[in-house]
Structure 1
Amino acid sequence: MKATGIVRRIDDLGRVVIPKEIRRTLKIREGMPMEIFTDVAGEVILKKYSPVGEMSQLAAAYAETLVTLTGHAAAVCDTEQIIAVAGPAKKELLHRPVSPQLDELVQSKKSFLTTSDNTVLIAQGVPAAALAVYPVISVGDVMGAVLLLKGEKSPARLSSEAAESVKAAAMFLSRQLEA
């Protein structure tokens, strides 16, 4: 853990204010759900809650299915990090923070399909790129995205069937979050 030097008091309703500088740095917005953990040392830990992260096993199974159907590596991310990967880049991508380019695309609720050599960088510190990105949206809020990745051994062009498969995956995960 990193000390900030900031001390806050608990008010009479049990609330603690997270300083604006920390909220800005960690991209914590008003209304964002937070998960609360405790440990044996008596520490209270706040973590941004990711409903997509809760479905990581389902997301991983769907990513494996996309690899089989499309021949492309596949990944699923929440709004912060890559939560599931299937295909050759698994170890280097899993749990990496999403790139600013992918974050901007997903937050705008836009899908992306490559038309030629254009791609979207997907994770910070890794040169992996996506050929297709479909946002996972639940009750009007962006929860993450499903991606088909560019790879050395994958087909050079994205077929319409592959595009429909990744779109279906995003729609399926969206419905699962609404249930």
Structure 2
Amino acid sequence: MKATGIVRRIDDLGRVVIPKEIRRTLKIREGMPMEIFTDVSGEVILKKYSPVGEMSQLAQSYAEALVNLTGLGAAICDTEQVIAVAGPVKKELLHKPVSPQMDELVQGRRSFVTNGESTVLAAQGYTAAALAVFPVVSTGDPMGAVMLIKGEKSPPKVGSEAMESVKAAAMFLSRQLES
């Protein structure tokens, strides 16, 4: 754990303000859910909560099903990192932070399908390119995305059946988060 030298007092409602510099550095946004942990030495630890990350086994199974349906690599991310990878995609993509392009799509709740020329980088520091991206949205909040990843032998465009499959996956995960 890293000390910041910042001290904050608890107000009369039991609240503590996380300094703006720390929120900006850790990409903590207003309304973002936080998980609270305590340990035996009296430390209180805040961690960004990822409902999609809690469903990582289900996400992994769905990514594998997408590979079987489409023949393309598949990945699922939450708002921070890639949480599931399947198919001819390198496993190094798993747990990589999402790229700024992907973050923009997720936060904007926008989908993307390649026109045969453009792609979206899936993760920072990794060359995996997404051919199709559909956001996972629960109760109006962006939670992540489902994407088809370009492989060495992938066609330049995504077929309509593959596109509908990845769209259905995003809708399914969105419904799972709402229930």
Sort the TM-score into its range (normalised by shorter chain). over 0.9
1:121 to partner: Cα distance: 0.4
- Once superposed, which parts of structure 1, at least 4 consecutive aligned residues long, lie more than 6 Å away? none
TM-score normalised per structure 1: 0.94
Aligned to 1:8: 8
- Say yes or no: does 1:81 pair with 2:52: no
8 Å CA contact 2:76, 2:84 repeated in 1: yes
Aligned to 1:93: 93
Matches within 5 A, 1:10-159: 10-159=10-159
- Mapped to 2, the partners of 1:80 and 1:139 lie a distance apart of 19
Structure 1's 31 and 42: CA in aligned 2 closer, same or farther, altered over 3 A?
same
8 Å CA contact 1:109, 1:135 repeated in 2: yes
- Mapped to 2, the partners of 1:159 and 1:63 lie a distance apart of 17
- Mapped to 1, the partners of 2:7 and 2:150 lie a distance apart of 46
8 Å CA contact 2:74, 2:87 repeated in 1: yes
Q: What one-letter code is carried by the residue in structure 2 that aligns with 1:3?
A: A
Superposition RMSD on alpha carbons, in Å? 1.3
TM-score normalised per structure 2: 0.94
Aligned length: 179
- Mapped to 2, the partners of 1:75 and 1:172 lie a distance apart of 15
Aligned residue for 2:164, secondary structure, equals: helix
Query: Where does the alignment leave 5 or more consecutive residues of structure 2 unmatched?
Result: none
8 Å CA contact 1:71, 1:155 repeated in 2: no
8 Å CA contact 1:99, 1:122 repeated in 2: yes
**Higher mean C-alpha displacement, 130-139 vs 13-22:** 13-22
Aligned to 2:169: 169
Aligned residue for 1:167, secondary structure, equals: helix
Residues 101-146 of structure 1 deviation map (CA, whole Å, 9 limit, x = unaligned) = 1111121111100011210001011111100000011111111100
**Higher mean C-alpha displacement, 8-17 vs 157-166:** 8-17
Aligned residue for 2:128, secondary structure, equals: strand
8 Å CA contact 1:79, 1:142 repeated in 2: yes
8 Å CA contact 2:72, 2:88 repeated in 1: no
- Mapped to 1, the partners of 2:68 and 2:162 lie a distance apart of 10
